[in-house]
Chains A and B, each alone.
Chain A
Amino acid sequence: MNQVDTSPNAIANVNLRQIGRNKPRNDAPTKVYGQAIYAGDYSMEGMLFAKVLHSDRACANITRVDVSAARALAGVHSVLTADDLSACNAVMTDLPGQTGGGTKDTKQPILAAERVRFQGEPIALVAAETYELAQKALDLIIVDYEDTEGVYDPFDSQKPGAPIVYGDDNIVSTRKIRKGDIEKGFAEADYILENTFSSQYQEQAFLEPEAAVAWVDEHEILNIRSSTQVIEHYRAVADALGIPHNRVHLQAPYLGGGFGGKEVMTIEVWLALLAMDTKRPVKLIQTRENSFLSHGPRHPFTFTHKTGVRKDGKITAMQITITSDAGAYAKLSPYVLLYAVVGSTGPYRVDNLWVDAISAATNNLPTCAFRGFGTMQANTACEAQMEELAKLIGMDSLELRRKNFIQPGDPNTTGQIIRSSVWSDQCATQALAALGQQPNNSDHLVYGHGLACYQQSYGRIRWMKDTSESWVGLEMDGTVIVRCAVTDVGAGQMSALAQIAAEVLGVPMNEVTVYFGDGHLNPLAGTSTASRALYMSGKATELAAVAVRDNLLECMAKHFDVSPGELDLADSMIFVLDNPERCMSIKDMVKVCATEGVHRHNLSIFRAPQSEGLDPETGQGDVFPDFTYGAHAAQVSVDTDTGEVTVIKSVGAHDVGQAINLRAVEGQIEGSALMGQGFALSEELILEKGVLKNGSLSEYLIPTSEDVPEIQSIVLESRSGLGPFGSKGIGEPVFAPVAASIVNAVTDAIGTRIHDLPLTPEKVLAAINENRASRGVVSKSLQQKITP
């Protein structure tokens, strides 16, 4: 059911033998045989078990913490509160590893001292001989609270007199865009349409809760083996504890999923404190309930879109306001807001643009990174507005999109010129076509088709000056080693590096061993976030492998008496291209090269494109290395008696630049299809005055196997990306349009739009009934305003 198109303009002379193929991943066997060891699976001699006391209040003063009974309990080795950390009770939550930019005031207390600002804020840490003892000790800790007035809405928290949660005014971050002349743009419009769209909290719900083991080793080095996307947090751990960076060794085994939820530090610093206090190894595996409170879900956003459009479909101006709920601490909210700003105009060129964006603090759960990182929420709003514009001017919505798609050479939202291919049109056309015919409505089932396109960045923000390193070497028996400290969150990060090295050096993938997840023994690869792991570490690995290959071919050219360009490596052989009979096994070749003293290894660094930030007045400048484009289309049915939505078919079509492992690419598209479906229809953290009401996997509804539609992946390859072999980042991009396409399909089915997500049966039924009452007056929602 899947297909691949490659550009006729693809990079010339690329003769790929392994890249782009359907390859079983190198990590598949260990996982299906139950051998893969995750962070919580390690045990050590003398290991203690930790528990964390989280606040059950969202906003309160702490008047007393009494741990005396807990400390007195036999088998309890450490009970720590803020009093024990007075010298160093703060941890940085800003993005790690950056050398430029940075957000002020992202320090967060490790343990709450005088007050708690959100439900789940940690108050005390316990390490004991068993989990049961640790739990018993937690139960013996007495915390007296004095509830104080909190604020639970990001609009309320900006009002004068609101309780202060963060800084002086609850404002965590603001952003603006001032581009062109929106007055002129609106004057040129035939219609102006205003809408408000809002979206909810979404929980990452990775299957593996946060887990880690920490210990101080015989060299007095603090070791932490943790389920983290970012091993560079060793620096923040060291800074928090006041020890040198080179005394903290943080490593990550295979992760049981991350999706952004293991991007900021989770439990590492707690374990570090307990391990240093007890001089014993300490393990913590978060309970699912505490996991819901601990890592920061997706930000709820509200977008207002005022759009001017001509009758011919050309957008003349956009004015957008954006508000996000940062929760009680900054975490990554300023960056998520920036992503939302860049994504607010979708994949469209808008020359007259005005954006005001604000992220405000509340006493809700601190929100943080989640696949899509603000862009998907912004894109969902933009693509809803595009559908409403098309309806307003009576134009097919794909046609309207075609009139406005950004093109290579165009400036985007922040004026960044798009340099890579933009295949929005091909992707949208193919995705829609793949949906096929819409079934006829029956007495209580109505059907709808929906489309959404997107522009999503890959790679970190340019002023972070991102780099990645990788080392590639050939062993004497012709096998290959890659040493690259990428963290493998489950998308095939490790396996992709093996495939890249195998391609360049002409050996089978399973003859490449990748040492990953440990940045102290291997070169640092940077984070597995921002759809950058493969782009950056893959590029570094490609560079290193090519350098090794060049060394080998230069040596072997003398041996074969040809030029290096006349030689190739494939199927574990080196051979003369014009005369493949003249060949040698790679194993023998290595011996020749070793005898000649040729370097059979290389350490390479890849630097992403850089910039110095945005103009503060206009918000213009280069933000990201590059962008991925594509589309998702969905067919749904809606039961008009119950309001239940069923996704029947879900099609993702994306220009991925170059698939490294086609199967892994399709896996990302399929996983996105379901995660986006959850966002559109069923997933929502429900907070009442900051207190989570559905923090379990039976109450918070991620899609199950019984919710799976027919999913189709269409993979296009422009080979125009910045990654290895022209690849683009895809982990987040392929997710960006999914929810929007399903929301648009539901709108198509029921003939009216619901402006706040998710589209639960209750909301859908109410909308159907309201629409029936108004008898076909399109878009009668109070949230929509049309002028003139």
Chain B
Amino acid sequence: MSKEKIVTVKVNGSAVKFAVPAHRTLLEALRHEGFVEIKCGCEKGDCGACAVLLDGEPVDSCLTLAWHVDGCEVTTIRGIGQPGKADPLQKAFIEAGAAQCGYCTPGMIVAAKALLKHNPNPSLDDIKRGLGGNLCRCTGYTRIFEAVQLAAGKLRAAGEAA
């Protein structure tokens, strides 16, 4: 067994500390700590199910080594919003019927969150490109696009009102 190192990350605002060997991915480490809302689909960056925000930017947690993120902030789907404090994207995913089996949904909403942060008014093509790293086998993506557009509209309206 390789040498272990203590890594501290802030997950959804709370500090989490764990000892991991050099080869342990962020996906494995966080799921082991109980953050099972991060889904594992391929362990090699092909599917995007494990996407999280790392200091606000989207990464595949299966391609991120835990040692490399010491001191970083990680946001999972649960950190994006919760019942009663839902993110507009989550409300839109419910309203548009964008989740079927739901396994890609956490990563998909994470990717959409990052997309809207950089591009509050994305075109359909922008959305298609922005979600290009996240596979979905159930929905045909159409309602996911609708949900992102719906949320973007709500966020812009809220921004203008503020």
Q: Please give the residue numbers on chain A whose beta carbons come within 8 Å of chain B beta carbons, in ascending order.
A: 22, 24-25, 27-38, 40-41, 43, 132, 204-209, 254-257, 259, 285, 287-288, 489-492, 663-664, 666-667, 670-675, 696-698, 702, 704-706, 708, 711
A208 (CB) vs chain B CBs: closest residue: B103
| Residue in B closest to A491 when the chains form the complex, CB atoms | B100
| Chain A residue with Cβ nearest B81 | A33
Q: A31-B99, A33-B77, A256-B101 are in contact. Are A705 and B139 (CB under 8 A)?
A: no
| Residue in A32, A132, A206, A207 whose CB lies within 8 Å of B90 | A32
Shortest 3 CB-CB contacts between residues of A and residues of B: A490-B101, A256-B103, A31-B102
Q: Looking across the interface, which residue of chain B has its beta carbon closest to that of A672? A: B140
Interface string of B67-103 (1 = CB under 8 A from A): 0000000001110011100100010011101111111
CB distance from B52 to the nearest CB of A (A): 11
Q: Which chain A residues lie closer than 8 Å to B39 at the CB level?
A: 38, 207-208, 256
* Complex contacts, B90 vs chain A, CB 8 Å: 32-33
| Nearest-neighbor residue (CB-CB) of B45 within chain A | A698
Q: B99 contacts A705, CB within 8 Å?
A: no
Extra pairs beyond A490-B102, A706-B128, A706-B129 (12, CB < 8 Å): A25-B99, A33-B77, A34-B105, A34-B106, A35-B78, A43-B34, A207-B103, A667-B143, A697-B41, A697-B42, A698-B44, A708-B140
Q: Are B103 and A257 in contact (CB-based, < 8 A)?
A: yes
Chain B residues near A38 (CB-CB < 8 A): 39, 103
Alpha-carbon gap, A492 to B104, bound state (A): 16
- The closest CB in chain A to the CB of B95 belongs to A24
Known: A254-B102, A257-B103, A705-B141. A207 touches B44 (CB 8 A): no
Structural contact, B135 and A288, CB atoms closer than 8 A: no
> In the complex the two chains form, is A674's CB within 8 Å of B141's CB?
yes
| B interface list, Cβ under 8 A from A | 1, 34, 36-37, 39-44, 46-47, 49, 76-78, 81-83, 86, 90, 93-95, 97-106, 109, 127-129, 131-132, 134-145
Question: Do A705 and B144 touch (CB < 8 A)?
Answer: yes
Alpha-carbon gap, A36 to B129, bound state (A): 27
> In the complex, what distance in Å separates the CA atom of A46 from the CA atom of B104?
29
A254 and B132 within 8 A (CB): no
Q: Complex: how many Å from CA A626 to CA B123?
A: 43
Q: How many angstroms between the C-alpha atoms of A132 and B86 in the bound complex?
A: 37
Interface centre among A31, A208, A285 (most CB of B within 10 A): A31
Task: Given A671-B138, A702-B137, verify A28-B94 contact (CB < 8 Å).
Answer: yes
**In the complex, are the beta carbons of A207 and B140 less than 8 A apart?**
no
Closest to A31 in B: B102
In the complex formed, the residue of A with least CB distance to B89 is A32
Q: A256-B39, A711-B142 are in contact. Are A28 and B137 (CB under 8 A)?
A: no
Determine the chain B residues whose CB is within 8 A of the CB of A670 once the complex forms: 139-143
| Sample of 24 A–B contacts (CB below 8 Å) | A22-B97, A24-B95, A28-B99, A29-B83, A31-B102, A34-B78, A34-B105, A38-B103, A132-B1, A207-B39, A207-B49, A256-B103, A490-B101, A490-B103, A490-B138, A670-B139, A697-B42, A697-B135, A705-B129, A705-B132, A705-B136, A705-B145, A708-B141, A711-B140
Which of B42, B76, B106, B135 has the most chain A CB atoms inside 10 A of its CB? B42
Query: When chains A and B are docked, how far (Å) is the Cα of A738 from the Cα of B65?
Result: 41
**Nearest A residue (CB) for B129:** A706
Q: Return the contact of A207 from the options B41, B82, B145 (Cβ within 8 A).
A: B41
Interface centre among B40, B82, B132 (most CB of A within 10 A): B40
How far does the alpha carbon of A713 sit from the alpha carbon of B85 in the complex, in Å? 33
Complex contact A257–B94 (CB within 8 A): no
Knowing A287-B43, A288-B41, A667-B143, the reply to whether A704 touches B101 (Cβ < 8 A) is no
Contacts of B78 in A (CB 8 A): 33-35
Tell me which residues across on chain A come within 8 A of B76, comparing CB atoms.
Answer: 34
Which of A207, A667, A675, A706 has the most chain B CB atoms inside 10 A of its CB? Answer: A207
What's the minimum C-beta distance from B127 to chain A, rounded to whole angstroms? 7
In whole angstroms, what is the CA distance A205 to B43 when docked? 14
* Contact A37:B101 (CB < 8 A) given known A257-B137, A697-B135: no
Q: Is the interface of A mostly helix, strand, loop or mixed?
A: loop
Complex Cα–Cα for A512 and B157 (A): 34
- Verify A288–B42 contact, CB threshold 8 A: yes
Q: How far is the CB of B96 from chain A (nearest CB, A)?
A: 8
Contact A208 B101, beta carbon cutoff 8 Å: yes
> Shortest Cβ distance from B85 into chain A, in angstroms?
10
Q: Does the CB pair A708–B143 fall under 8 Å?
A: no
Interface contact B102-A27, CB-CB below 8 Å: yes
CA distance A556 to B63 in the complex (A): 63
Chain B positions within 8 Å of A28 at CB level: 93-94, 97, 99
Across-interface contacts of B109 in A (CB, < 8 A) = 32
CA distance A671 to B101 in the complex (A): 11
Q: In the complex the two chains form, what is the Cα distance from A670 to B100 in whole Å?
A: 11
Q: With a CB–CB cut-off of 8 A, which chain A residues contact B143?
A: 667, 670
Complex Cα spacing A28 to B47, Å: 21
* A674 in contact with B37 (CB, 8 Å): no
By the criterion CB–CB under 8 Å, are B135 and A207 in contact? yes
Residues of B within 8 A of A491 (CB): 100, 138
Q: Is the CB of B103 within 8 A of A705?
A: no
Chain A residues whose CB sits within 8 angstroms of the CB of B42 once the complex forms: 288, 696-697
Tell me the complex Cα distance, A489–B102, Å: 10
Q: Is the CB of A41 within 8 A of B47?
A: no
**How many angstroms from the CA of A33 to the CA of B86 in the assembled complex?**
8
A704 near B138 with CB under 8 A, answer no
A43: B residues at CB distance < 8 A = 34
Residues of B within 8 Å of A706, CB to CB, are: 128-129, 132
B26–chain A nearest beta-carbon distance, Å: 16
Q: Enumerate chain A residues within 8 angstroms of B1, measured Cβ to Cβ.
A: 132
8 Å CB contact of A205 from B101, B129, B137, B141: B137
A671 touches B140 (CB 8 A): yes
CA distance A489 to B82 in the complex (A): 24
Residues of B within 8 A of A206 (CB): 101, 103, 137
Cβ 8 A contact of B135, one of A36, A489, A671, A702: A702
Most chain A CB within 10 A, of B43, B82, B134, is at B43
* Nearest B residue (CB) for A675: B137
Of chain A, the residue at the smallest CB distance from B91 is: A32
Distance A664 CA – B99 CA, assembled complex (angstroms): 10
Q: Which B residues touch A34, using CB under 8 A?
A: 37, 76-78, 105-106
Residue of chain B at shortest CB distance from A489? B101
**Closest Cβ–Cβ distance, residue A257 to chain B (whole Å):** 4
Rounded to whole Å, the gap between the CB of A209 and the closest CB of chain B is 7
Cβ distance A141 to chain B, nearest Cβ, rounded Å: 20
> Once the chains bind, are A32 and B94 in contact (CB under 8 Å)?
yes
> Which of B40, B82, B105, B128 is within 8 Å of A31, CB to CB?
B105
| A30 nearest CB neighbor, chain B only | B102
Contacts of B134 on A, CB cut-off 8 Å?
A: 705
In the bound complex, residues from chain A placing their C-beta under 8 Å from that of B135 are 205, 207, 697, 702, 704
Quick check: B137 and A259 within 8 Å, CB to CB? yes
Please tell me if the beta carbons of B47 and A24 are within 8 angstroms of each other in the complex.
no
Q: Which of A30, A257, A285, A489 contacts B40 (CB 8 A)?
A: A285
Tell me the bound Cα distance from A307 to B95 in angstroms: 49
Contacts of A36 in B (CB 8 A): 102
- Complex contacts, A672 vs chain B, CB 8 Å: 140
Q: Which residues of A contact B140 (CB under 8 A)?
A: 667, 670-675, 708, 711
A256 and B41 alpha carbons, distance in the complex (Å): 10
> Which of A37, A254, A711 is in CB contact (< 8 Å) with B36?
A37
Known A207-B137, A256-B39, A698-B44: A33·B97 in contact at CB below 8 Å: no
Contact between A705 and B102, CB atoms less than 8 A apart? no
* A40-B50 Cα distance, complex, nearest whole Å: 14
CB distance from A452 to the nearest CB of B (A): 17
Are B99 and A708 in contact, CB atoms less than 8 angstroms apart?
Answer: no
A181 to B127, CA, bound (A): 57
Question: What's the least CB distance linking B78 to chain A, in Å?
Answer: 5
Please determine whether B40 and A40 come into contact, CB atoms closer than 8 angstroms: yes
Return A659 CB to nearest CB of chain B, in Å: 13
B46 A32 Cβ-Cβ under 8 A:
no
Residues of B within 8 A of A37 (CB): 36
CA distance A492 to B102 in the complex (A): 11
Q: How far is the CB of B128 from chain A (nearest CB, A)?
A: 5
